[in-house]
Structure 1
């Protein structure tokens, strides 16, 4: 395939076809269809917001405010393009290069084709519309608007190539266990920083914003906005200096992306391997302290999940992401609100970003569900491992957040309350999640590869958020009364504390028991329905 324009047209048509087919496939499920419609409506609203800003921005904002908004908004758009795919579960607006490895494509054709494909889709349209609106608001004349066009195109290039270089690098790092951990740490810390900055925006002052803009104006995310401002002012030297630095960044990011793509398509995945046998005659699955588990299908499922929690980049990344983002969210809440109680009591809110692993138990690691359908294990084994994962990803964020907040405010009483709340409630949350999982099936592949997830093309990201929101209300109904009662009893009423804690264990055990029984009874009847949502063609 030597005809360059033909290759680019083929990539563009392929991306359009992927988007169209993804939307059609969402019609198979009312929930997924609703999520896809919400996604499209949100994109349309964002574009209309950009148009409104372009029309009314000059009337609403003073010149100094317009310049500040240009730098901060451009920085936010670029950083969102960089880290958005990582915080939203691997949503990637380009074509997966691994699917093209057997085609007669040169590296240059593949690189250019992915650039073209990357600019097609709802998210690129939203970003481009807002950058165009920023240019329109900054322009003082038609000539200054035309002069700012190179800066606007450069901003799109910085966003696209920076995102691709980052995603390809993290995907390559995920090929090894240690690299996968480092990749997850980089992605989560970056995403958490952006998330916390957005949440804390309401607390900043004008002087803080000015200082932030001064710093961002000399970084790749904000320099394009500063170049737009300089072009509108006709400060050609300043604009040329910033654009030159940005073009150098684009060249470097493009080189990194090209190199990582070549390595990604030519190296093997070493992130998993065979667990060494712990001893003669002893199964590796039941090695170490896992030998205490019963030798049954349920025990094997629990042992397998414990191994996956230790060895799977996807599992470790989910635990890390949920814990860090939950901690950041709770920190924002306790900073903004006067709760009147120790901050550690807000620790259960940290589960917000991990609840999908409890309410969506059948959707996590779709390949495992296919294997179970073929093998036909006992119903108890179908949910034993999934509940272990749910308990881990729900309990760990609460525990870490509570410990850090107690270290800050020194309230040991609140730590006692939270430690009494976590075990029974995580058990109840896992059981209830098994019961409702059939209603919120969303594919979440166990992969460290940022190219692997196709949730955005089906509206499943919105579906997951809606499911988690509904489920969160039920979780709050379980945790809030218990936490309030234990906090009241911990003020010297230790007899009542023991009674409330014992009652909580009984109630939560019943919730777990009933939820698990419902899930076991339903699993045989809903297998085909679940399989229709876990379409392996878009989740490998």
Structure 2
């Protein structure tokens, strides 16, 4: 018990000193979004039916799949830190479990589980809800820990990395399209009864009088704790290099050498295998989920979604490769950026084109728009991936030094998550002009897509190459030490010094601004213009005739205002700093 308390105090001290700068802002933004979702979960507890059980199942999936997208989950205290203490695996696992309850995510999860108090069927069961909430949260945390540990083992083989990427992509896409299934249930279908009997629903069963739910959670916690303890003993195992023979690389110049090296990295690096499979699975399943409602219009967008997600997953391209950056710096004229661009395009492009053609054939169109989007986004992704990586590089662990959690490629998991969201927004914007042309003028959009894609590929790649040439030594210093050298010019992607409240507002605006702007604004307006009324979660389609367009346009203005606020506050802070 003393060890557990000490670890909890250690983590609390670390978190207390981490509430400054970008990490604190990201933590505040994530906590705010989590509180909104927790409030929605509590609201569902007041509704009749199994809505709360379904919401808790989604929370459980979020705990399992969330670490995949956030760099391996919260590992403020790593098991490796305590390897020399000689603690038995079960005791180490129990102490780490106690420390795992310290943090923003567990607090948010506990607030969401307060819905169990609302769902209690009697005052006695309301008292039962208190231990049920704690046990249910322990189940979520342990499921997350075991899932990360199993994924770490899976990422030691190519088949495991691909299988894990497929599963994670499908689950995260399900969470992103949960509204589709909610609407399907609301249109006459019933939430399956088995949802109540999933591990996520055992606390709900307990507060409704079935006290075996408490006993079942205790047993499950013991089993998961034992499994995690066993997996911790295997965590230190290193990846064994393949001993198969390899064909020698042949290249006539520096660019071809970079392309050959990158293509081999794409085929050998299990983390990249996982990222590419994850992006593909996410794009296909996210676009096909609305088929549950009989809506086929999103299916052709599987390829554009895949491209955007692939760019997001690889947005820290130079950082992921670690200190091997010195190879490029010591080989002037090797065209490292151009070689990486071409390798990324060769890896992602054929898959994207195949998915675009196959999905568009199934629905019969719109050919011009989808081919335009595919061409434009491929060029935008190939240009932005190296550009973002050299301008906002996040120091990462060298591939040969990755620990028992291969997803933990960086200590700055919040920065990596922010980088991924930034890449998604920017890559999507590179395709917007050509898609607009295709929507208005049909097949002329394909020419526009090819032109904008080529321009992004060349122009953004040129900017990245110049940045790498001018700041290469500083980037290598950042990779080696984790500290940025003093520079009179701050990074364009780094927030200036400003009050913590303003930083939180900026992050909230950037993270949530897309919701009113695109789905509730632009997409809803298109549906209203096409006569698609009372459709899924788009609020404007449910309004009276005189309010449909004002509501849609109001959401567009709200989204633009949020993004404008997210730009104006840092700009004002920079001007104030320059004047002072």
Cα 1:467–1:345, aligned 2, differ >3 Å: closer, same or farther? closer
Cα 1:388–1:444, aligned 2, differ >3 Å: closer, same or farther? farther
Instruction: Give the TM-score, by structure 1 length.
Output: 0.76
* Equivalent residues in 2 for 1:38-437, closer than 5 Å: 38-44=26-32, 46-47=34-35, 50=38, 61=46, 64-65=48-49, 68-93=50-75, 95-131=77-113, 133-139=114-120, 142-198=123-179, 200-205=181-186, 207-208=188-189, 210-212=190-192, 214-228=193-207, 230=208, 235=209, 238-240=210-212, 242-265=213-236, 267-270=237-240, 272-273=241-242, 276-278=245-247, 284=248, 286=249, 291=250, 294-332=251-289, 343-344=299-300, 347-356=303-312, 360-369=316-325, 371-372=326-327, 376-378=330-332, 380-392=334-346, 394-395=348-349, 398-410=352-364, 414=367, 422=374, 426-437=378-389
**Preserved contact between residue 359 and residue 468 of structure 1 (Cα < 8 Å):** no
Question: 2:11 is matched with which residue: 6, 15, 22?
Answer: 15
CA shift, 1:202, in A, is 3.6
Q: Which residue of 1 aligns with 2:518?
A: none
CA shift, 1:377, in A, is 2.4
Question: 1:37 is matched with which residue: 19, 22, 25?
Answer: 25
Q: What are the Cα deviations for residues 206-231 of structure 1, in whole angstroms up to 9, with x where unaligned?
A: 753x433x111112122222323x2x
SS in 2 for 1:452: coil
SS in 1 for 2:197: coil
Q: What are the Cα deviations for residues 349-370 of structure 1, in whole angstroms up to 9, with x where unaligned?
A: 332322225654433433433x
What is the RMSD of the two structures over their aligned residues, measured on CA atoms? 3.7
CA shift, 1:196, in A, is 3.5
Separation in 1, partners of 2:12, 2:34: 20
Structure 2 gaps of 5+ residues are: 484-580
Cα 1:368–1:263, aligned 2, differ >3 Å: closer, same or farther? same
**Preserved contact between residue 299 and residue 363 of structure 2 (Cα < 8 Å):** yes
SS in 2 for 1:378: coil
Q: What are the Cα deviations for residues 488-524 of structure 1, in whole angstroms up to 9, with x where unaligned?
A: 36xxxxxxx9xx64x7656643443333232222213
**Preserved contact between residue 174 and residue 289 of structure 2 (Cα < 8 Å):** no
Q: What are the Cα deviations for residues 369-404 of structure 1, in whole angstroms up to 9, with x where unaligned?
A: 3x447x522354431343145325653563353244
Separation in 1, partners of 2:320, 2:63: 25
**Preserved contact between residue 254 and residue 333 of structure 2 (Cα < 8 Å):** no
Number of aligned residue pairs: 479
CA shift, 1:444, in A, is 6.4
Separation in 2, partners of 1:247, 1:322: 36
Cα 1:358–1:337, aligned 2, differ >3 Å: closer, same or farther? farther
Separation in 2, partners of 1:277, 1:347: 32
Cα 1:78–1:535, aligned 2, differ >3 Å: closer, same or farther? farther
Separation in 2, partners of 1:107, 1:169: 16
SS in 2 for 1:354: helix
SS in 2 for 1:113: helix
Q: Which residue of 2 aligns with 1:465?
A: 421
CA shift, 1:407, in A, is 4.7
Separation in 1, partners of 2:165, 2:211: 36
